[in-house]
Amino acid sequence: MNKIRLEHLLKEHHKDAFMWASQCCNYNREDGKEVLQITYLKIWERKAMYGGQSGFKTWLFSVIRFTAIDYLKKRGISFEELGKLQMVEEEQQVETDRINYRELLSRLPERQHQVLLLAFYHGMTLTMIADLMDLHIGTVRTHYERGKDALKEIILKERHE
Amino acid sequence: MSNPDDNIQDFFSEMRKKDEQIPIPEFDELIRKRPRWRKMFFTSLGVAASLLIALNFYFGADKKTNIPENELVIILSGENEINTQSLISSEPSMNSWKSPSDFLIDDFNEW
């Protein structure tokens, strides 16, 4: 793939890629920006190459996810800690009187959280998610179903409170 | 008939709507640029290297001019100053040369 085509595709998915990078970094936009920059650099320097086995978006999201894992590891943040979200202060202030979506999602186990984000927020199919997360389709389906049930409960509980 | 996932879909579409307000960094700002930590690392490395070179020049030049006044320096000049010819005590002579196959000429009848 030539660089002009590659740049065009990256530009097309830039917004979604930034949102996904931030979501992989505890919804921290600065970290998300850094991760996306490293991802673009990897792609630009051909350290990560698109082979065409999956869709471009699936591949890009997968590179972002692995880059975020490495980035957080280097900074000493374990992936388990991702569940315990550190909300950005400004957002906490804005969201005091509204539903705090991120906080509610963070109550889910990390895999379920990511599968639901990819399915409902980014509109991906379970097959795409399986490719992206390097998991068996059956495992993804389990995370998807359990995640949905758990989130429904969380939403209901939130409404009653 | 309502979809059992309706409330989840609503939840995420609301979340997406809310995220529309988030400022997205410019694509050109992120592409083809090295990440901040790399930039900072190489910048500081460059500064340290130039500082070392500058210090080396400053102190190196200072050392050269620091010769004590009463110290005598002798510089030899001439054609044979590094001639090592005198170290060879004798010249090889053709008379002393012996062929490695010399023993073949020996007359065994003398035995």
Q: Which residues of A touch B18 (CB under 8 A)?
A: 98, 101
A121-127: average pLDDT:
94
CA B64, distance to chain mean position in Å, is: 26
| Distance in angstroms between the alpha carbons of the first and the last residue of chain A | 53
Query: What is the pLDDT at residue A75?
Result: 80
pTM of the model: 0.64
Task: Using alpha carbons, select from A111, A119, A127 the residue that is nearest to residue A65.
Answer: A111
What pLDDT, in 10s, does the model give residues B8-23?
899 999 999 988 888 9
Q: How far apart are CA A46 and CA A66, in angstroms?
A: 16
Residue A96 has pLDDT above 60, yes or no: no
Q: Is there a contact between A85 and A44 (Cβ–Cβ < 8 Å)?
A: no
Residue A40: count of CB within 10 angstroms of its CB: 25
Nearest-by-Cβ selection for B30 from A40, A116, A151: A40
- Residue of chain B minimizing CA distance to A8: B27
> Residue B15 is nearest to which of A40, A44, A101, comparing CB atoms?
A101
Q: Which residue has the higher pLDDT, A159 or B77?
A: A159
A94 inside 8 A of chain B by CB: no
What tens digit of pLDDT does each residue of A44-94 get? 888 888 887 888 999 999 999 999 999 998 887 655 555 454 544 445 444
> A70, exposed or middle or buried, with CB in 10 Å at 0-12, 13-18, 19+?
exposed
Confidence tier at B80 by pLDDT (50, 70, 90): low
User: Phi/psi zone of residue B108: left (φ > 0), alpha (ψ -120 to 50 degrees), beta?
Assistant: alpha
Mean per-residue pLDDT over chain A, rounded? 84
Radius of gyration over every alpha carbon of chain A, rounded to an integer in angstroms:
16
